[in-house]
Amino acid sequence: MTAVSRERRGGVLIITLNRPKANAIDVATSLELYDAFKALNDDPALRVGIITGTGRFFSAGWDLGAANEGEAVDADHGPGGFAGLTEYFSLTKPVIAAVNGLAVGGGFELALAADLIVASTEARFWLPEAQLGMLPDSGGLLRLPKAVPARLAREMILTGRRLAADEALALNLVNRVVAPEALLATAVEVAETIARSAPLAITAARDILRATEGLEVEQGYQLMRSGAIPSYQAMLASEDALEGPRAFAEGRPPEWQGR
């Protein structure tokens, strides 16, 4: 049985990690996840991805059983890095993490690599790596301090402190918290809302946000206007940039061409 399943719902690709008991991720599973995210990226009909898990865990992170059997701590997890997403920097489409349960270590890092997080009330987030003689070097060290206050990020990294879903929401670490039975439907609703926007605009927005993160506003403007962000230039020169205002004036839904 495959550890990763895919389901298409219109322009949304739902990627589900199903590897009992804890959805732990070894190299083979990372490669499967990467293949799913690459399929999202390469298919023009797909607009948004959702990554979720089954059972009590979203993901327990790195498969320590595989480690015990010889998988190296610095093993090559493929082009997308650990879990197929944490280093997939050329992915042009947004991903929503629908966190159904425990997001531990690399599982938390997988969620952090997504654009948005919708969490079940059963979700919990923590990084236990330091207590296991390792470091959360698949994004925890780099992304968490940008997502929560720096001192809290240090505490979570150094002590393994856990965050419940409601605390994660209060810290703006997650976008929404919903009942477990509403999780996937809510994630799909958010994804479909994104998919109604112009694809080139979504790609450009993601690229600009990433390129200007940490810059002062003036520096961000300079970079954005410099022509150094190709997706922004492509959006400005696109047919879709004309179609949006035209459709609005004519009182009809826009027909995006992605060009």
Domain ranges for the chain: 4-195, 199-250
Q: What does pLDDT average to over the chain?
A: 95
Q: Going by C-beta distance under 8 Å and a sequence separation of 6 or more, which residues neighbour residue 116?
A: 94, 95, 96, 97, 175, 190
Higher pLDDT, 92 or 72: 92
* 255 carries an active-site annotation: no
The pLDDT of residue 76? 84
Class of domain 4-195: alpha beta
Which pLDDT band holds residue 75 (cuts at 50, 70, 90)?
confident
Token representation of residue 205: 């927005």
The pLDDT of residue 69? 77
Which pLDDT band holds residue 1 (cuts at 50, 70, 90)?
low
pLDDT tens for residues 21-35?
A: 999 999 999 999 999
pLDDT tens for residues 114-159?
A: 999 999 999 999 999 999 999 999 999 999 999 999 999 999 999 9
Tell me which of 7, 129, 181, 213 is the catalytic residue: 129
Token representation of residue 180: 């477990």
State which amino acid sits at residue 144: L
- Percentage of the chain beyond pLDDT 70 is 99
Which pLDDT band holds residue 110 (cuts at 50, 70, 90)?
very high
Using alpha carbons, select from 88, 1, 5, 91 the residue that is nearest to residue 43: 91
Higher pLDDT, 67 or 259: 259
* 129 carries an active-site annotation: yes
Token representation of residue 226: 């410099």
- Whether pLDDT at 63 is above 90: no
Tell me which of 71, 109, 167, 255 is the catalytic residue: 109
pLDDT tens for residues 187-220?
A: 999 999 999 999 999 999 999 999 999 899 999 9
Q: Going by C-beta distance under 8 Å and a sequence separation of 6 or more, which residues neighbour residue 79?
A: 34, 38, 87, 88
Token representation of residue 103: 């997001």
